[in-house]
Structure 1
Amino acid sequence: MDNNHTKIKMLVVYTSFITCGGVERFLLNFFELFPSDKYEINLLLFNDDQDNAKMFDMIPEHVNVLPFLKQYSSWSPELMEELEAAGQTESVKVKNFIHDRNMDAEFKKQSMGVRFEENWSILKTICPEYHGYDAAIAFTNMLPLKIVADRVSSKKKFVFMHLDIKAEIEFKNEDSLYRCEKSYYDQMDGIVCIANQNAESFCSYFPDLADRVKVLININNKALMLRQSEEFYPQEYQQCENNLLTIARIHPQKGIELLIQTAAKLKDAGIDFRWFVLGSHQVKSYTEKCQSLIETMQLQDYVRFLGERPNPFPYYKNCTLYVQTSVFEGRPLSIEEAMSMNCPIVTTDFSSAREQIEDGINGRVCSFDAEQLAHAIIELLQNSGERTRLSQSNAKYDGTDGINKYLEYFS
């Protein structure tokens, strides 16, 4: 990049803040890395939607939000009316065509990757072009990646890969999405993975791109988190001394059914506890399935889905244990935050878990098994000294180790 410019001009492309998750919180942290006297940052989103966590409202003032690409929001009659009223007649035609085609039985027989690719060949005709950037960053793959590859002129282009794609592909038994994205990865100067395991997985699928892969771990602002953690004491915690916390959206990837099964074993063992899950309920059918399982196991008084919270840090600070039940992840920011808040941690052994947690040193790592998870939780609930020891092992972690690497990489 040309450092003779007064400022480095950066474009970041993402979808929206409709879901409060680790990627969205990480994006906010990412913006704070770059001083406004050296970087001019533009953010391109599909819309200003946000959930109860209100993360869109948290976008730093020095970030310039460009006009939204509302034509890339999820189809709805209301959106079609809005686009029509705004004079985007061609966008309405394209969106309606794609919506109808996605419902077609023959079209559905094609792989997900092929369907996405065919849809993009039309969608890109209603996307503006963006010129004059030093760095263009797709903060995730799929549409942001395609936009940066095909519709942005920039000296360098990057994409962030937040997940272990091998684990995701095995979980979904579907790899066409990533395979069909190969031509877009080819156009990236850098492919940023947030964990070593993520990088290894990506390179196993795309070995010819290995020299473009860079590992940059999540970063966070511990000082800000500590200040926010003092703002209130969670009233939900007043009912019980043993308060378990999980930060996760209600989604199969997050192992919520395992969480419920583990809670049932804690109850059967006579443990007095409450288990709180903070995260969005975007997948309605799965949320209903989990709620039904809670009722079937008579856990209504033990497991509660609290939805999104603008400030989750008092929940971290005051929980008895932080528990992660994920099936697969990249490098979850929730564990980074729990480490920064000095929480004793229990996690499932997803592929990159041991990059964050060393079993028996700064937390416990368990197999994807309710019996083993329950056993580890009971041991820690009944041993305050061991909880303190694990917490103290995280005391020096502040989530800032990689800041200079980010500044060097994007300078």
Structure 2
Amino acid sequence: MDRKEGYRNKEILFVINTLGGGGAEKALIQLLKQISPEQYNVSLLVLLGQGERIHEVPAYVNICNTDYSDASVLSREGKRILIRHVLKRMFSGMSIVKNARYLIKNLHYMRKIQKKVNVEKLLWRVMADGVPPLQETYDLAVSYLEGGATYYVQRHVQAVEKAAFVHVDYGQAGYFRGLDQGCYDTFDRIFAVSEEVKEGFLRVYPEYWKKTDLFYNQMDQQEIRALAKEPGGFTDDYPGKRILTVGRLTEQKGYEIALKAMKLLVDKGYEARWYVLGEGKQREKLQRQIRQLGLEADFLLPGAVDNPYPYYAQCDLYVHATRFEGKSIAVQEAQTLGCAILVSDTDGNREQVKDGYDGAVCRLNAVSICHAVERLLSDDELRKTYGKRAAQIVPQTENVKKLFGIEV
């Protein structure tokens, strides 16, 4: 069918903070792959100009960054590059000076109310203001992550419509109204990646209930299953049960609790080994704790890998015992590959795993995790049942038109 005279492709801009190995970044890549270049002209701005997943972006997507590094933000060299990018944006146009009052006010709030200073979240507005505004006007501008991307789209992007994504429990992740300064007022639509994420956001911003909707993470199950069959996975000859966790080494993931649970298992004489695929700022802290507990041979941190899927396919149990979640891509990947799954009883996790049906849910403490792991690893038939049911879960898909508020 010929296009009508005067038809033009819609111009869409996506903005994300970095483009590394996190779940939101994976979900964005999958979403970009589903957007037809015959209908939409798609542009992407990576706020801090860094991340290894840039090579996975479809060729038809216009990358707005003129200065970009594909170094992982979690590698040692990548961290040095990231610091340079951050400093450049902080002092570009004297952004840090212009935001001095904002910084002082919210630093006081973090210390007094939250009892913890989250430097990253405190500086997102400063960094967003340090990125030069784009000159184009878009039909739709999408901030695909909380913080910097959202602040940038609100303040520095010209668009007919704007949409924002929320991937985490907003309050638990440390965001609050003072940081945002009413930025969500300017967005036409707000998309949460799960029902519990939506509820968490609306607890902070109940006035936005009419324009807040669900938009589930996109994933390609066929591709994941194909990648799981490629060479790779565990290289040791360990004869016992293998426990796997995939995720960044951050406080959110609660690894120090997992370590204590592993110590309990070892003290009971249980033959199991726990592997965590991922990198992050807590690596050195976790390695010290591993040495203190004498778990050097029992709790391993192999780092991030390009293809984690053979590990999923080869493990005996996948554990995701986190403090809070949005909708975990790692859990969805484990389900796709038929893993028996144990998650902590927290927002996000409860929505993904049905306790006693396609996985198990436990409290987030060492004793509960230990007991749940011991029970699952001792029952091959139960793990097989959970894994089979998990593999039958079909992720909900979304049509890109929903971004424009079009019912499909």
TM range (shorter): 0.7 to 0.9
Q: 1:144 corresponds to which letter in structure 2?
A: A
Task: Work out the CA distance in 2 between the residues paired with 1:206 and 1:96.
Answer: 27
Whether the 8 Å CA contact 2:14–2:141 is kept in 1: the answer is yes
Whole-angstrom distance in 1 between the partners of 2:347 and 2:201: 13
> Secondary structure of the equivalent of 1:238?
coil
Aligned-pair CA distance for 1:49: 2.8
Other-structure match for 1:303: 299
After superposition, the CA RMSD in angstroms is: 3.4
**Aligned-pair CA distance for 1:266:** 1.3
Instruction: Kindly indicate whether the alpha-carbon contact (under 8 Å) linking 1:233 and 1:314 is maintained by their aligned counterparts in 2.
Output: yes
1:90-142: per-residue Cα shift (whole Å, max 9, x none)?
A: 9656268589x79x999954657999789847963762234331110001122
The residue number in structure 2 matching 1:9 is 11
Contact 2:140 2:160 in 1 (8 A): yes
Q: Report the CA distance shift for 1:236/1:262 in structure 2 as closer, same or farther (over 3 A).
A: farther
Q: What is the rounded CA distance, in whole Å, between the counterparts of 1:106 and 1:372 in structure 2?
A: 40
CA distance in 1, matches of 2:284, 2:353: 32
- Does the 8 Å contact 1:190/1:212 carry over to 2? yes
- Find the partner of 2:53 among 38, 52, 55: 55
Alpha-carbon contact 2:47-2:148 (below 8 Å) kept: no
What is the CA–CA distance in structure 1 between the aligned matches of 2:191 and 2:323, rounded to whole Å? 22
Name the residue aligned to 1:402.
397
Residues 215-246 of structure 1, C-alpha deviations (whole Å, 9 max, x = no match):
12222100011111111131335323411110
CA change 1:237–1:337 in 2 (3 A) is farther
Alignment match of 1:163 (pick from 164, 168, 172)? 168
Paired with 1:121 and 1:334, the residues of 2 have a C-alpha distance of 31
1:246/1:323 contact within 8 Å kept: yes
Give the 3 Å change call, closer, same or farther, for CA 199–57 of structure 1 in structure 2.
same
1:258: Cα distance to partner? 0.8
Task: Give the direction of change, closer, same or farther, for the CA distance of 1:113–1:390 in structure 2 (3 Å limit).
Answer: closer
More displaced, 114-123 or 286-295? 114-123
Q: Structure 2: which 5+ runs fail to align?
A: 69-77, 111-116
Aligned to 1:236: 235
The residue identity in structure 2 corresponding to 1:318 is Q
Return closer, same or farther for 1:345/1:123 CA change in 2, 3 Å cut-off.
closer
Gap runs ≥5 in structure 1 = 170-174
User: What's the counterpart of residue 172 of structure 1?
Assistant: none
Check the 8 A contact 1:46/1:68 in 2, yes or no: no
Deviations 1:203-223 (A, max 9, x none): 122111111101122221000
1:334 paired residue number: 330
The alpha-carbon distance between structure 1 residues 59 and 210, as it changes in their structure 2 partners (threshold 3 A), is same
1:375 aligns with 2:377: no
For 2:342 and 2:150, the matched residues in 1 are separated by: 34
Tell me which amino acid in the other structure corresponds to 1:27. Answer: L
Distance 2:81 2:356 in 1: 50
What is the TM-score with the length of structure 2 in the denominator?
A: 0.84
Distance 1:78 1:378 in 2: 42
> Match for residue 151 of structure 2?
146
Aligned to 2:65: 67
Q: 1:123 to 1:268 in 2, by over 3 A?
A: closer
How big is each residue's C-alpha offset from its partner over 1:328-383, in whole Å with a ceiling of 9 and x where there is no partner?
11111111111111111001011122211000100000011211111111111111
Q: State the distance in 1 between where 2:94 and 2:393 align.
A: 49
Q: State the match for 1:226 in structure 2.
A: 225
| Matched length | 385
Deviation, structure 1 residue 11: 0.2
* Alpha-carbon shift at residue 320 of structure 1 (Å): 0.7
CA 35–110 in structure 1, closer or farther in 2 if over 3 Å, else same: same
Deviation at 1:79, TM superposition (A): 3.9
Cα–Cα, structure 1 residues 355 and 116, in superposed 2: closer, same or farther, change >3 Å? closer
Report the alpha carbon displacement of residue 4 of structure 1 after superposing the two structures with TM: 7.3
**3-state SS of 2:258 partner:** helix
Q: 1:245, 1:315 within 8 Å by CA — same for their partners in 2?
A: yes
Aligned to 1:246: 245
Distance 2:134 2:349 in 1: 40
Cα deviation per residue 1:138-164 (whole Å; 9 max; x = unaligned)? 011222112111211212101111101
The one-letter code sitting in structure 2 at the alignment partner of 1:211 is K
Which has the higher relative contact order, 1 or 2, with Cα contacts under 8 A spaced 6 or more apart?
1
**Distance (Å, rounded) in 2 between the aligned partners of 1:21 and 1:383:** 32
**1:232-287 deviations in whole A, cap 9, x for unaligned?**
13133532341111011111110010110111111112111111111112x1xx32
**% same residue:** 23
